[in-house]
Chains A and B, each alone.
Chain A
Amino acid sequence: MRLTISNIDIILQIGISIFDKGGSAMPREKFRTLTEQMFYILLCLRHECCGIDIMDKIPAMTAGRVAVGAGTLYHLLDQFLEEGMIRETRAEGRRRSYILTHKGTQALQTEYQRMQQQIQDFQRVIGKEDEV
């Protein structure tokens, strides 16, 4: 076996997989529930939007309550692309625009319904306590 660069990469990946068993298992299954920042990024992308502009849109949408860091935004857009939740629509030099896919829309909808359920549970429990 010639030790080409791609063979070295393969050996490295095998080594990483041996060491990393369980190391990358995150408590939340990827994008099963969305964090607040993930939610607002996806919300911004209901309509075509340049990735870099999302940083201004979110504080405007939330009256300054939520802010997304540049690095977090960049990495999450990458991850959403990888998961097929958004797709790239345009590239003007380094400025890239994105829009939600069907999968992304579903994720947003699912999160919305989850939050609705939470609100209803809250109102029901608090309502009962008030009655008492």
Chain B
Amino acid sequence: MKTIKTAFPHFAPYDRRGIETYLERQAEKGWMFFAFGTVGWKFIRIDPKKVHFAVTYYAEVSEYDSEDPEGLLSFRDYCAKAGWKFIDSNVKMQIFSSEDENPTPIETEVLTEVKNIHRIEKKQVISDFLYRSALFVICLLIIAVFIHKDAVKTLSNREILLMLLIIFIAFLLEVARIIEYYSWHRRAVKTAVEENLFLDVKNGRRVSGMATLIFVMGLLMLMTYFDWITVLLTGIMVVLGCAIMVFAWRWIKERRYSRKENWVIIFVVAFVVVALLREGLDFTLEKLDYVPQNTGFTGSAWEQYLQSPPLSLEDMYGEESSCNSQTMWVEESWLVADYEVRSYGEIGSESVSLGYSVIEIKCSMLYDVCLESELRSVLSHGKEYVLVDVAQWGADSVYRLRAGALEWENTWLLCYSDRLVGISMREEPTPEQMTLVCEVLGK
């Protein structure tokens, strides 16, 4: 029979009565809490019995302390004198147990207890909120810069958008958490003053549990966008990274550095570990020479190849061609889809080529942003798109690429109602080819 189990309960950190009730019920079922594990809460098998638990909080301790401070040890001495046995702590939360029938509670003055919880919790809740807000704002700024540089590439990248969505949801949950805590605190103070009772926390588990669920779902969704080798290697790297951090943490604690020194060391170690693992992942994928089906590595990202492009050399030239190479990239999100095709071949003895891109804009508000981005993209090469009047393309407006005053190129940007089509050929297209492009790519 199993003698040790690990549980993953969700409680708001200030829900001391909820935690006490949960631990007492576990003891009645024959499971005694004995430690906070690296992951989860640890319970050991006992004969079912009635055990009183007390959850209390000590403010002047930090996760970066190498050892328990003198004040905390003194606090535990006080509790031990009152018959409470110390079990374990999770930084500021201290858990005690007593098998006496009617032990004097550790906290007998509710207002003092609520004040103490507030000293700890306000700093935690507000710092989490500020960090999440800063992260969200930084991500927004980064994406804004990316959109300014290349709107189509950014808006069609579903991984970036999904990550932004996850960070936004995490930010909203932090807002919910801070509102929930302050709402509870105000009512708890009122209840403590008027009735000398500790106010139970009603929905703490719900917000905490929802946050974890959304985070896990977001991760799973993100994983579905990658091939299985990348997911497997990423999983291995994450586990390795966590193991390294746990060992580093234990090593640092043994050295007994100060709280500030520990904070700096952990921050630096985490930064280095993440950077090394990221490089390790790319290095391993390259060394394995692994190319997932229908993908190509462009030097910074994997892009997907598809076998049958909508418009081929044969379609454009109306003749059989020996196609030397054909590649197609697709990047698609809920906002924008970007298809690019490059075909090179020969018809008879003549070399022909065809390159086109279709930017499908699913959200009409983004049309002008994408168009501006495409028009701007050629400026750094000393070229510009010029508005021309060529009705055969069947487009709402047509731009042609020009390098210098009179050097027109056979590169066009066609604006249709919900898409932009870029097309590039070696020679000037015929009216029939323009009509074909409109029919196949423009709708």
Chain A residues engaging chain B, CB cutoff 8 angstroms: 5, 11-12, 15-16, 19-20, 23-24, 26-28, 35, 37-38, 51-52, 55, 67-76, 79, 94-96
Chain B residues engaging chain A, CB cutoff 8 angstroms: 56, 70, 73-75, 77-79, 81-82, 84, 104-109, 111-113, 115-116, 118, 122-123, 126-127, 129-130, 178, 182, 185-186, 189, 193, 260, 263-264
Q: Which residues of A sit under 8 angstroms from B113, Cβ to Cβ? A: 71-72
Q: Is there contact, CB below 8 Å, between B74 and A19?
A: no
Q: Is there contact, CB below 8 Å, between B112 and A15?
A: no
Q: Across the A-B interface, give the 6 residue pairs with the lowest CB-CB distance, nearest first.
A: A69-B108, A71-B106, A70-B78, A70-B82, A70-B79, A94-B74
Q: Is there contact, CB below 8 Å, between A76 and B104?
A: no
Q: Which residues of B sit under 8 angstroms from A24, Cβ to Cβ? A: 115, 118, 122
Q: Is there contact, CB below 8 Å, between B186 and A23?
A: yes
Q: Which residues of A sit under 8 angstroms from B104, Cβ to Cβ? A: 67-70
Q: Which residues of B sit under 8 angstroms from A96, Cβ to Cβ? A: 74
* Docked pose: A20 CA to B127 CA in angstroms: 12
Q: Which residues of B sit under 8 angstroms from A11, Cβ to Cβ? A: 130
A-B contact count (CB 8 A): 98
User: Which one, A12, A27, A51, contacts B123 given CB within 8 A?
Assistant: A12
Q: Is there contact, CB below 8 Å, between A12 and B126?
A: yes
Given contacts A67-B104, A72-B107, A94-B73, contact A23 B118 (CB under 8 A): yes
Extra contacts besides A11-B130, A16-B123, A70-B84 (12): CB < 8 Å: A12-B123, A19-B122, A26-B111, A67-B108, A68-B108, A69-B105, A69-B106, A70-B81, A70-B82, A72-B113, A75-B116, A96-B74
Shortest beta-carbon distance from B136 to chain A in Å: 15
Shortest beta-carbon distance from A93 to chain B in Å: 9
Q: Which residues of A sit under 8 angstroms from B189, Cβ to Cβ? A: 26-27
Given contacts A15-B126, A16-B122, A71-B107, contact A5 B84 (CB under 8 A): no
Q: Is there contact, CB below 8 Å, between B81 and A55?
A: yes
B106's closest neighbor in chain A, by CB? A71
B267's closest neighbor in chain A, by CB? A5
Shortest beta-carbon distance from B320 to chain A in Å: 65
Shortest beta-carbon distance from B312 to chain A in Å: 56
* Docked pose: A55 CA to B83 CA in angstroms: 11
Chain B CB count within 10 A is highest, among A19, A68, A73, A95, for: A73
User: Which one, A28, A52, A76, contacts B193 given CB within 8 A?
Assistant: A28
* Docked pose: A96 CA to B77 CA in angstroms: 12
* Docked pose: A108 CA to B260 CA in angstroms: 41
* Docked pose: A121 CA to B153 CA in angstroms: 81
